[in-house]
C-alpha cells in the first residue's frame, strides 16, 4: 500500500532537486555539476498486463552537452525479498529505453531496512548468478543528524530530508526543534512546504506528534501570519477539533496548489467545510499522486 509517508520520501527529490547534490555526496557518487533536472514518467509498464511503477525517475542533462544520467529513486519501508527482481527490471528498462547510465537510489527510514537494501542482490540459478543489483542507499547510517539551526537554515531541503530519515531516532525531538528554529527565518512558501511535507513524511510516529506540537505553539513564527500560526490561532478560537480540521483542509489545498493542480471554488469550499479528519487524511494522501483535483475529492 502506498502511503503519504512513502510518497514524501522520494517526491522531495522531484520538488527540490537541489537535494541531489548533497545526498549523492553522502553516497560517494558524483553527478554532473551543472545540469538541468527533468522529472519523467514513473511508468515502466509493457504490453503485458503487469503494471510496474518506479517511485521517482529523474534525468540529469549536463548543460555542456554531455551524456545524461538517469536516476531511479525508490522509497522502501521494509525488507522485501521480491524487490530485487523489480529493481533489476527498472534498471534494465531505463537503460534500454534511454540509452544512458542509470543509478538506483533506495531511501530508507530505519536502520534494518537500509542495511538490507544495500544488497548486493544476486539473481539467477544457484550455480550461476548472472545478474547483480547493487543499490545506492540513503538511510539513518549515512544521512547526517542536523542539530545546528544555522546549518539547517542554509539547506532546508537537506535538513527536512534528514529529519524524515531520522524520525525514529532518539534524537528526533532535538532534530525537529532545530528544523523548527530554522524555518522561523524562512520565507512563507518554504515554511508552508517543508512544515507540511515533514508532517506527512513522519507518518504515524511519536516524532510526528512532536512536530505538530512544535508547529502549533506558534512560538517560532510570532506575528508573521503564517499558515502554522493561523492554524494555531483558529484552533484556540474555534476548538481543538475544528482547528485541526481547518489545518488539514488547508494542507490538502496548498499541496494541490504547489503541485500546480487547479481547484474549483466548490472543491475548495467542500474541503474547508469538511470536519472528518479521516476523510481529510485520505484526501491528503491522494493529493500527493493525483493529476487533477477530482481524483482527490471524488476518488
pLDDT for 48 equals: 45
Over the stretch 54-66, which tens digit does the pLDDT of each residue have?
888 899 998 887 8
pLDDT for 150 equals: 92
Quote the CA–CA distance of 193 and 8 in Å, as a whole number: 11
pLDDT for 232 equals: 45
Closest to 149 (Cα-Cα) out of 196, 109, 124, 183: 183
Mean pLDDT value of segment 126-151: 91
Quote the CA–CA distance of 196 and 117 in Å, as a whole number: 28
pLDDT for 32 equals: 75
All residues at 6 or more sequence positions from 259 whose CB lies less than 8 Å from its CB, including other chains: 287
Mean pLDDT value of segment 179-183: 90
Inter-residue contact 110 to 142 (CB < 8 Å): no
Which has more pLDDT, 109 or 231? 109
Over the stretch 69-91, which tens digit does the pLDDT of each residue have?
999 999 998 999 889 999 999 99
pLDDT for 142 equals: 93
Quote the CA–CA distance of 8 and 200 in Å, as a whole number: 7
Peptide bond into 251 cis (omega under 30): no
Has residue 33 got a pLDDT over 80?
A: no
Has residue 288 got a pLDDT over 90?
A: no
Closest to 140 (Cα-Cα) out of 159, 173, 163, 174: 163
Inter-residue contact 289 to 7 (CB < 8 Å): yes
Mean pLDDT value of segment 47-57: 64
Of the candidate ranges 34-43, 46-55, 151-160, 220-229, the one whose mean pLDDT is the lowest: 220-229
Closest to 230 (Cα-Cα) out of 268, 293, 200, 272: 272
Has residue 45 got a pLDDT over 80?
A: no
Has residue 223 got a pLDDT over 80?
A: no
CA dihedral for 215, 218, 221, 227, sign (positive or negative): positive
Has residue 116 got a pLDDT over 80?
A: yes
Has residue 176 got a pLDDT over 90?
A: yes
Backbone angles phi, psi at 128, to 5 degrees: -160, 90
Has residue 182 got a pLDDT over 50?
A: yes
pLDDT for 22 equals: 85
Amino acid at each position: 500500500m502506498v502511503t503519504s509517508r512513502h510518497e514524501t520520501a522520494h517526491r522531495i527529490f522531484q520538488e527540490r532537486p537541489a537535494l541531489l547534490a548533497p545526498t549523492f555526496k553522502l553516497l560517494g557518487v558524483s553527478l554532473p555539476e551543472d545540469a538541468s533536472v527533468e522529472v519523467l514518467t514513473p511508468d515502466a509498464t509493457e504490453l503485458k498486463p503487469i503494471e510496474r511503477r518506479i517511485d521517482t525517475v529523474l534525468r540529469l542533462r549536463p548543460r555542456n552537452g554531455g551524456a545524461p544520467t538517469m536516476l531511479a529513486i525508490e522509497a522502501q519501508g521494509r525488507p522485501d525479498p521480491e524487490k530485487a527482481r523489480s529493481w533489476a527490471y527498472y534498471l534494465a528498462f531505463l537503460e534500454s529505453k534511454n540509452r544512458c547510465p542509470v543509478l538506483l537510489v533506495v531511501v530508507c527510514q530505519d536502520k534494518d531496512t537500509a542495511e538490507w537494501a544495500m544488497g548486493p542482490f544476486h539473481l539467477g540459478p544457484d550455480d550461476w548468478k548472472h545478474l547483480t543489483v547493487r543499490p545506492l542507499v540513503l538511510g539513518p547510517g549515512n544521512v547526517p543528524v542536523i542539530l545546528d539551526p544555522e546549518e539547517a537554515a542554509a539547506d532546508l531541503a537537506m535538513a527536512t530530508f534528514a529529519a524524515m530519515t531520522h524520525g525514529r531516532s532518539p534524537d528526533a525531538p532535538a532534530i525537529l526543534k532545530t528544523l523548527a528554529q530554522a524555518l522561523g527565518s524562512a520565507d512563507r512558501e518554504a515554511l508552508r512546504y517543508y512544515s507540511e511535507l515533514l508532517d506527512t513524511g513522519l507518518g504515524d510516529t511519536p516524532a510526528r506528534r512532536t512536530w505538530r506540537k512544535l508547529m502549533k505553539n506558534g512560538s517560532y513564527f510570532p506575528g508573521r501570519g503564517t499558515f502554522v500560526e493561523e492554524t494555531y490561532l483558529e484552533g484556540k478560537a474555534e476548538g481543538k477539533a475544528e482547528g485541526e480540521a481547518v489545518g488539514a483542509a488547508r494542507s490538502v489545498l496548498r499541496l494541490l496548489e504547489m503541485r500546480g493542480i487547479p481547484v474549483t471554488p466548490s472543491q475548495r469550499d467542500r474541503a474547508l467545510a469538511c470536519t472528518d479528519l479521516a476523510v481529510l487524511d485520505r484526501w491528503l494522501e491522494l493529493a500527493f499522486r493525483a493529476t487533477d483535483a477530482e481524483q482527490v475529492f471524488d476518488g
